[in-house]
Amino acid sequence: TTPTIAATPAPTTLDMDVLSQLRQLGGHEFTVELYADFEQEAGELVKQAAACVAAANWEGLHPLMHQLKGTAATLGLVALAGQALRIEQLLKNANTSALPIEFKLLQHYFAQFRAVYPPVVAAPEPLPATADSLP
């Protein structure tokens, strides 16, 4: 018989509870600005990180992943924060062979965030309770 592989659900791109909390704390405009600023800053971090990966500069990559992980987690960007953490752990364990492919996955999660967040964050009202999080 052929072995079956259990499908794991895709990590959440944007935690809607976190988005709701940020809206309550700072208001709609503040929240829209916060995510737009993150997109710009994280884009620069990802670009710098790509140069580190290309040059196998693992010491330079670590602080970039640490910063990205913290900010992404604060904004409820579950998949992105989790992947930055995974890369950070690989670096701490000096397990660098998997880093190029793991970084490609991080780039994918960042692209996914960029595609998903604008209409969700810009929506005047939080999405209905049935959409607790976006895949």
Q: Note the pLDDT tens digit of each residue in 16-56.
A: 999 999 999 999 999 999 999 999 999 999 999 999 999 99
Which 3 state secondary structure label does DSSP give 110?
Answer: helix
Angle at 74 between CA 64 and CA 29, to 5 degrees: 110
| Residue 13 amino acid letter | T
Rounded CA-CA distance 119/105 in Å is 23
pLDDT on residue 11: 78
Confidence of residue 131 (pLDDT cuts 50, 70, 90): very low
Confidence of residue 2 (pLDDT cuts 50, 70, 90): low
> Two tokens at 64?
């970039």
For the segment 74-117, what is each residue's pLDDT rounded down to a tens digit?
Answer: 999 999 999 999 999 999 999 999 999 999 999 999 999 999 99
What fold, for 27-118?
A: Four Helix Bundle (Hemerythrin (Met), subunit A) (1.20.120)
Contact, 45 vs 68, CB < 8 A? Answer: yes
Kindly list the domain boundaries of the chain, sorted by start residue.
27-118
Residue 129 pLDDT > 70: no
Torsion, Cα 117 120 126 128, to 10 degrees, reads -120
Mean pLDDT within 51-74: 98
Residue 57 pLDDT > 70: yes
